[in-house]
Protein backbone atom coordinates (compact mmCIF):
# COMPACT_ATOMS: atom_id res chain seq x y z
CA UNK A 1 0.00 0.00 0.00
CA UNK A 2 1.26 3.47 -0.86
CA UNK A 3 1.82 5.61 2.22
CA UNK A 4 2.89 9.18 2.77
CA UNK A 5 5.62 10.17 5.18
CA UNK A 6 7.19 13.46 6.18
CA UNK A 7 10.88 14.05 5.54
CA UNK A 8 12.94 16.95 6.86
CA UNK A 9 16.47 17.62 5.69
CA UNK A 10 17.78 19.14 8.90
CA UNK A 11 19.99 22.25 9.13
CA UNK A 12 23.25 20.25 8.93
CA UNK A 13 22.16 18.56 5.69
CA UNK A 14 20.61 21.69 4.22
CA UNK A 15 23.73 23.78 4.87
CA UNK A 16 25.79 21.16 3.00
CA UNK A 17 23.42 21.31 -0.02
CA UNK A 18 22.28 17.71 0.50
CA UNK A 19 18.51 18.21 0.13
CA UNK A 20 18.35 17.53 -3.61
CA UNK A 21 20.71 14.51 -3.57
CA UNK A 22 18.86 13.02 -0.58
CA UNK A 23 15.42 13.51 -2.12
CA UNK A 24 16.80 11.92 -5.31
CA UNK A 25 17.64 8.79 -3.30
CA UNK A 26 13.96 8.57 -2.42
CA UNK A 27 12.74 9.07 -5.99
CA UNK A 28 15.34 6.56 -7.24
CA UNK A 29 13.75 4.07 -4.81
CA UNK A 30 10.20 4.49 -6.08
CA UNK A 31 9.02 7.40 -3.96
CA UNK A 32 7.22 10.44 -5.32
CA UNK A 33 7.88 13.81 -3.71
CA UNK A 34 4.34 15.18 -3.43
CA UNK A 35 5.33 18.60 -2.16
CA UNK A 36 8.47 20.31 -0.87
CA UNK A 37 9.05 23.50 1.08
CA UNK A 38 12.29 25.14 2.09
CA UNK A 39 11.80 27.02 5.33
CA UNK A 40 13.12 27.84 8.77
CA UNK A 41 11.08 26.08 11.44
CA UNK A 42 9.76 28.44 14.12
CA UNK A 43 10.19 27.55 17.80
CA UNK A 44 6.39 27.20 18.04
CA UNK A 45 6.21 24.72 15.14
CA UNK A 46 9.21 22.82 16.51
CA UNK A 47 7.48 22.54 19.89
CA UNK A 48 4.40 21.06 18.22
CA UNK A 49 6.51 18.70 16.12
CA UNK A 50 8.53 17.39 19.07
CA UNK A 51 5.78 17.60 21.72
CA UNK A 52 6.21 13.94 22.74
CA UNK A 53 9.81 14.70 23.79
CA UNK A 54 8.97 17.76 25.94
CA UNK A 55 9.91 16.13 29.26
CA UNK A 56 13.12 14.53 27.99
CA UNK A 57 16.51 16.05 28.84
CA UNK A 58 17.49 16.48 25.18
CA UNK A 59 14.33 18.45 24.27
CA UNK A 60 15.83 21.98 24.56
CA UNK A 61 18.80 21.11 22.34
CA UNK A 62 16.45 19.39 19.86
CA UNK A 63 14.35 22.56 19.53
CA UNK A 64 17.43 24.79 19.37
CA UNK A 65 18.99 22.70 16.62
CA UNK A 66 15.94 22.20 14.34
CA UNK A 67 15.27 25.96 14.44
CA UNK A 68 18.92 26.95 13.90
CA UNK A 69 18.77 27.30 10.13
CA UNK A 70 16.90 26.47 6.95
CA UNK A 71 15.49 22.99 6.31
CA UNK A 72 13.79 21.26 3.40
CA UNK A 73 10.48 19.62 4.30
CA UNK A 74 8.78 17.18 1.95
CA UNK A 75 5.92 14.75 1.70
CA UNK A 76 7.18 11.52 0.16
CA UNK A 77 4.84 8.79 -1.02
CA UNK A 78 5.77 5.19 -1.75
CA UNK A 79 4.91 1.55 -1.19
CA UNK A 80 5.11 0.93 2.58
CA UNK A 81 6.41 4.49 2.65
CA UNK A 82 7.04 4.95 6.36
CA UNK A 83 9.02 1.72 6.85
CA UNK A 84 10.91 2.01 3.56
CA UNK A 85 11.84 5.63 4.26
CA UNK A 86 13.22 4.59 7.66
CA UNK A 87 15.31 1.89 5.94
CA UNK A 88 16.73 4.43 3.48
CA UNK A 89 17.53 6.83 6.34
CA UNK A 90 19.35 4.26 8.50
CA UNK A 91 19.82 4.20 12.26
CA UNK A 92 19.30 7.47 14.17
CA UNK A 93 22.93 7.37 15.32
CA UNK A 94 25.07 7.70 12.17
CA UNK A 95 27.85 5.70 13.89
CA UNK A 96 25.43 2.74 13.91
CA UNK A 97 23.87 3.38 10.49
CA UNK A 98 24.84 1.11 7.62
CA UNK A 99 26.94 2.53 4.78
CA UNK A 100 24.68 3.40 1.87
CA UNK A 101 21.96 4.77 4.14
CA UNK A 102 21.44 8.53 4.32
CA UNK A 103 22.60 8.82 7.92
CA UNK A 104 25.43 6.37 7.33
CA UNK A 105 26.70 8.44 4.41
CA UNK A 106 25.92 11.99 5.57
CA UNK A 107 25.13 12.04 9.30
CA UNK A 108 27.66 13.79 11.51
CA UNK A 109 26.45 12.70 14.96
CA UNK A 110 23.33 11.52 16.75
CA UNK A 111 22.41 15.20 17.23
CA UNK A 112 23.28 16.19 13.65
CA UNK A 113 21.99 13.20 11.71
CA UNK A 114 20.89 15.07 8.56
CA UNK A 115 17.31 13.83 8.18
CA UNK A 116 14.05 13.35 10.03
CA UNK A 117 11.42 10.89 8.88
CA UNK A 118 8.11 10.01 10.45
CA UNK A 119 8.35 6.94 12.71
CA UNK A 120 4.82 5.64 12.14
CA UNK A 121 1.84 6.16 9.86
CA UNK A 122 0.08 8.03 12.68
CA UNK A 123 3.09 10.33 13.17
CA UNK A 124 3.31 10.88 9.42
CA UNK A 125 -0.31 12.05 9.24
CA UNK A 126 0.17 14.37 12.24
CA UNK A 127 3.45 15.78 10.94
CA UNK A 128 2.13 16.32 7.40
CA UNK A 129 -0.76 18.32 8.90
CA UNK A 130 1.74 20.50 10.79
CA UNK A 131 3.79 21.42 7.71
CA UNK A 132 1.31 20.99 4.86
CA UNK A 133 -2.21 21.58 6.19
CA UNK A 134 -3.55 21.62 2.63
CA UNK A 135 -2.15 18.12 1.96
CA UNK A 136 -3.45 16.38 5.09
CA UNK A 137 -5.38 13.19 4.38
User: What is the set of active-site residues?
Assistant: 116
Beta bridge partners, 77, equal 4, 32
In the sheet that holds 71-79, the strands lie side by side as 32-39, 71-79, 2-9, 115-117
Contact (CB, 8 A) for 101 and 81: no
Per DSSP, the chain holds a count of helices (H) and strands (E) of 7, 4
Quick one: residue 105, left, alpha or beta (phi over 0 = left, psi -120 to 50 = alpha)? alpha
CA 131 – CA 38 distance, rounded (Å): 11
Question: Residue 36: enclosing H or E segment and its boundaries?
Answer: strand 32-39
Amino acid sequence: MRERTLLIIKPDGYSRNLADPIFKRFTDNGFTIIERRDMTISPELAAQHYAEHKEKPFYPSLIEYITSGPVAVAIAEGENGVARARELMGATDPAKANPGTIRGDFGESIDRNTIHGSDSLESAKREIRLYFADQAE
